[in-house]
Amino acid sequence: MTVTAIVSTKFNLNDRVKTNAALNVRATPSTGGILLGTQPINSLGTITGGPTFADSYWWWNVNYDSGADGWSVEDYLDKANNPTPTPTPGGDATFRNLTVTGSLHSPVAGADSWFPYTDGNTYVRGSLNTNSDIYFNNILHNHTGFGNTAGYAAIENAKDYNTLMILGRSGGIGGVRSVSVWDRLDVNGTLNATGNIGSNTGFCIGSNCITSWPGGGGGSFTNTAPANYLTKSVSASSIGQSLVYDNGTNVGIGITNPNFKLDVNGQINASTGLCMSGVCKTTWPSGGGGGEPNTVRISDLATGGTGTQASPWIGWDTRIGVLAPEIDYVFPCGWYSFSNTINMTKTPGRYTLRGTSKQCVTLIYTGTGDAILVDSLSSPEGNYKNILEDIEIHDFTLWSNTGNRGIHLREVGNVVIKDIKIRGYATGGGGQGWKDAGIVLGGTSPCCGTIVTRITDSEITYGNGDGIKTEEQNTNHAISITNSHIQGNWGVGINIAGSGNGWNIVGNTLEGNGQGSIVLSYTEGGLNISGNYFEETAAQSTSITIGTQAYSYGISITGNSFAGDGLTNTAIILGKVAVTEGGVVSGNAIFGYKTCIQQVRVVDYTIANNKCRPF
């Protein structure tokens, strides 16, 4: 036998109910359903579902005015005492015209429309007029979507969207659901649209109203600018080419191949000043106010380092980097340290790097490579076709105990190095720093010699390597070393590993260099050594050695003074390894040497009028 429970008729949908005891609210109609909460006695709510029979109870789904919503047992629910509806108690109310002189409201949840104290529907088939407000007391009403499902228009106080929703009638303008505003729409706030906003008469921003898009273009503009150009407005409906060109790496103004981050074809005028590396000036530096427009004071670049020191320090870890041609770079008096190589490279032109004087300007190189590099790119057309020319480096002291080379010249021409003091830090009778040489001419292949280079009135002292040297296999032509002091270097004073023609070593003092004063591996001819003073203090060192590697000719050694230790030194060795031919050795005064002139492989030399006096 099957027992079927009689369906409860205690409540109807949309009935207002009230709890008569503390009542549990569950997620499903079952005593085993998840407990969502407990409503206290006298809590009000609205029936939204049910009835369902389970676990010997009838269950109703209740939308409570506050707290948890869900399934509750009907035994602990009673109908709420609703006010008597006016004018039609219960059911629906239909009016052809309804005029409300006060407020039209409904405290009854679940009604489709609102008339005072109705628990059903209110239909107004004429006009609904009110001289007050229409408002909603039921803040717990969720969006029902009936406008979407039935195609009706609706106004909903949607709790789940926290907004007042206006739903248009389906099949409206253009066949889609729409809400139309036939007169002016004023928005005090933000007007947000997830779709399109249309207007038959125009749009206004403030008092500025338009009835068509600017230029009649319907919102579109024409761009006539080529690629990479920044655009500018050329008319009300089009944009075009400006003077600014951006290639993704550099920006040019009036130029289409910018080589710098900002490259300007023309003059730059700044009414309040100019800044470089964070240093800003409102006037040109002293001495540069128009009289020297191409002068840059290194002190103006010297504040961007990693630390500061007291006077006489001006630049600590000065960042100089690559120099530009046609500009005089000047060090005012003071001390500067730098770790990055000062470069004069690749771009042809005149270069000048100078101090105020070698007595008051001291550069201390803390890196491990070349302190100053002057370097051209090798030309595929042959030597000296693409060299830097017109280089001046003068009037400062260059120190280091870590660097490899002080000044390195490679494939350059017309270089003047004068009034320079290049030295390592002297410790224990020897030098530290300039591990290769103080000055290096040429590179490491036949491509990279130097021409027309003059080193004068300078000091190269106490380096860990040679004083001046040329790289092997290089042809360095027209080199002049005059009136300079080369002393105390651990290597050779002047080490000529590869020589061209037209060399002059005149009027210099070379003393106390560990491996001799001058060593010539080979030469193509035209080497003049005259008027120099040589003093050897290292045991078994030789002042001048000719021909340590290959054939050499056209050597002139005249009018020099030599002073040795009297025990182990040799003044001159000719043809030590390879033949030397067609030279002159005369008029030299040699004192205190064990051997004055040693001839090993010599052809057609004139050796005469030398004064040799051993101790």
- Joined together, the tokens standing for residue 514 give 């560990």
- 35 contact partners, CB below 8 Å, separation of at least 6: 24, 25, 26, 27
| 23 in a structural domain | yes
Give me the pLDDT at residue 202, please.
Answer: 75
Would the pLDDT of 485 be above 90?
Answer: yes
Identity of residue 471: E
CA angle 345, 350, 354 (to 5 degrees): 90
Give the range of the structural domain holding residue 67, as residue numbers without chain letter.
16-79
Give me the pLDDT at residue 506, please.
Answer: 97
End-to-end CA distance of the chain: 147
| 227 in a structural domain | no
| 189 in a structural domain | no
In the numeric block, the tokens 């002059």 are attached to 504
419-471 per-position pLDDT tens digit: 999 988 654 444 567 889 999 988 766 566 788 889 999 999 988 899 999 88
| 58 in a structural domain | yes
- The Cα–Cα gap between 362 and 396 comes to 6
HEC-encoded secondary structure of 493-556 = CEEECCEEEEEEEECCEEECCCCCCEEECCEEEEEEEECCEEECCCCCCEEEEECCCCCEECEE
Any idea what the CATH number is for the domain that residue 72 is in? 2.30.30.40
Of the CA atoms within 13 Å of residue 264, those in its CB half-sphere come to 4
Q: Do you find a cis peptide bond into 226, omega within 30 degrees of 0? A: no
Count the domains in the chain. Answer: 1
Element (H, E) at 146: helix 146-150
| 133 in a structural domain | no
292-314 per-position pLDDT tens digit: 446 777 765 554 444 444 456 66
What b/e sequence results for 297-332 when a residue is b if at least 16 CB atoms lie within 10 Å of its CB, and e otherwise? bbbbbbeebeeeeeeebbbbbbebeebebebbbbbb
| 319 in a structural domain | no
| 89 in a structural domain | no
**CA-wise closest residue to 374 among 389, 396, 364:** 389
Q: Name the pairing type of β-strands 295-297 and 509-511.
A: unpaired
Average of pLDDT values for 9-15? 91
50-59, 92-101, 226-235, 485-494: range with lowest mean pLDDT: 92-101
What mean pLDDT, rounded, does the chain reach?
77
| 33 in a structural domain | yes
